[in-house]
Amino acid sequence: MTSTALGAPRAWADRIVPLRARFAPSGWLGPEDIEIMNEAVHEQSEMPWVGSVSSVGDLFRLAEMVRDYLGEAGFRVARAASGNSGLAMHAREVFDAIVLDPPKLIFGRTEQEEGRKKYLDLNRLAAGLVRPGGLLVTCSCSGALPRDEFIHMTTSAARHAQRQAQILDVTGAGPVVYGLFADRGEAERAAAALSGRGVTWLATPA
């Protein structure tokens, strides 16, 4: 991975493509709020979520590295390159663990209703792909969607997928981790086992 760095080295100046936002201003976030991040991409950048740079080729290589690493550890790894290919997977496969990390779906207050529906549908489909006892790591970078509402929405998505979901962990600027179980009894047994290891979570859905 030769084109990834925390900050943009001066030697790469002719390769850097400025970020351009193309959406109608709505709510509290506008295109200028996205494009201002161009100012954070420089050699002294210290925030990975704002000032880091990479290339399509390096991101592909990173995905291959993760796949190879997990493959050597005995795991089978499947990747969906698009929404359509992910939906096609839904018809034929189930997994022990799924990482769901969609792009930002809510840019302002006026988009919250549509964005919530998209998050609900994505998480419902993902929950249906996880075998009972498996894990779903789900993420959101939509700052306009309150954390509590996102957690409630993902829990509802598991119910729509006819799964009993146990929240195992919630992190800041990171994922919500669910264990998906066939019934509440199985979820409670897993909860007791995790408690014995000092692992806690925020809530158990009713």
In the chain, where the domains are located: 5-53, 80-196
Query: What CATH fold (topology level) applies to the domain 80-196?
Result: Rossmann fold (3.40.50)
Q: Is 127 helix (H, G, I), strand (E, B) or coil?
A: helix
Q: Can you name the residues that pair with 84 across neighbouring β-strands?
A: none
pLDDT score of 84: 67
Q: Can you name the residues that pair with 78 across neighbouring β-strands?
A: none
Question: Using CA atoms, how far apart are residues 87 and 83, in angstroms rounded to an integer?
Answer: 6
Question: Using CA atoms, how far apart are residues 203 and 151, in angstroms rounded to an integer?
Answer: 10
Give the residue-averaged pLDDT of 150-161: 88
DSSP β-ladder status, 176-181 and 130-138: antiparallel
pLDDT score of 204: 37
pTM reported for the whole predicted model: 0.57
Confidence of residue 201 (pLDDT cuts 50, 70, 90): very low
Residues 23-77 pLDDT 10s: 665 555 667 767 777 777 778 776 656 667 888 788 888 888 888 888 888 888 8
